[in-house]
């Protein structure tokens, strides 16, 4: 029959020829236990005093820049949706009339679509710069500046139609492309302005605003192209 197993640690240690180690609670050095207790009490008291200080509470909440309230959240998303709708309205209008205006002003018919090319080029060149600019000054100031670029581009294009200057029209389309570059960040601004739970819906709503622009753009260009005696002048002024 098998031998009985040792019943105690000391017996097992003698059998295995290993020293027996007694398990005991760690003991503090003389005076360290009371010192640790005092330190813990002081820390708790310090945290309690910090929690009771109004100035500290204000400084703490100022360090949280992404606090979003439901009222401002929905208002910001609605404004960004409207901005996206206006952006796509302007873009579809420009696509509809830039080639025709270039054909009317260009000395060579092969250059008729050059204003459209300048518009795309302006957006491509300014996209990265717009992102860096908004990283430095914030979404609000960056998107406001982008809207000013759109106003300037529309005025330059209208002046080109008034002066019958083809290259000025190309320059105005280039400026308008900068506005298009800033407008590509409306959906990212919606993501920044929304809570985590509402963020996918906010981005979807802003992008859905472009559907409105797809309907309003061609309609606006058709109704305003001959609104003024100078052909295409009313369409460019409508972009403002």
| pLDDT recorded at residue 73 | 86
Compute the distance between CA of residue 47 and CA of residue 204 in angstroms, rounded to an integer: 43
Percent pLDDT > 70 in the chain is 70
**Segment 174-197 mean pLDDT:** 93
Give how far Cα 11 sits from Cα of 14, 15, 23, 102, Å.
5, 6, 16, 102
176 vs 71, residue with greater confidence: 176
Tokens 């929304």 found at: 194
Compute the distance between CA of residue 92 and CA of residue 57 in angstroms, rounded to an integer: 50
**If DSSP codes are grouped into helix, strand and coil, which group holds residue 169?**
helix
pLDDT at 179 over 50: yes
pLDDT tens digit sequence for 61-112: 444 444 444 568 889 999 999 999 999 999 999 988 999 999 999 989 889 9
């Amino acid at each position: 029959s098998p031998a009985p197993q040792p019943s105690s640690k000391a017996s097992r240690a003698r059998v295995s020829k290993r020293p027996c180690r007694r398990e005991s609670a760690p003991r503090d050095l003389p005076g360290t236990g009371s010192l640790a207790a005092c330190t813990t009490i002081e820390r708790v008291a310090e945290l309690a005093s910090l929690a009771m200080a109004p100035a500290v509470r204000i400084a703490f909440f100022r360090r949280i820049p992404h606090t979003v309230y439901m009222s401002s959240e929905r208002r910001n998303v609605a404004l960004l949706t409207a901005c996206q709708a206006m952006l796509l309205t302007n873009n579809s209008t420009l696509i509809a009339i830039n080639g025709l205006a270039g054909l009317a002003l260009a000395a060579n018919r092969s250059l008729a679509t050059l204003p459209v090319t300048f518009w795309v080029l302006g957006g491509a060149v300014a996209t990265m710069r717009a992102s860096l600019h908004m990283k430095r000054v914030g979404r609000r100031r960056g998107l406001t500046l982008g809207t000013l670029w759109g106003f300037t581009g529309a005025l330059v294009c209208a002046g080109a139609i008034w002066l019958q200057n083809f290259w000025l029209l190309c320059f105005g389309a280039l400026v308008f492309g900068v506005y298009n570059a800033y407008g590509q960040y409306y959906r990212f601004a919606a993501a920044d302005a929304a809570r985590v739970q509402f963020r996918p819906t906010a981005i979807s709503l802003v992008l859905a605003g472009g559907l409105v622009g797809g309907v309003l753009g061609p309609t606006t260009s058709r109704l305003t192209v001959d609104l003024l005696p100078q052909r295409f002048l009313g369409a460019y002024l409508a972009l403002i």
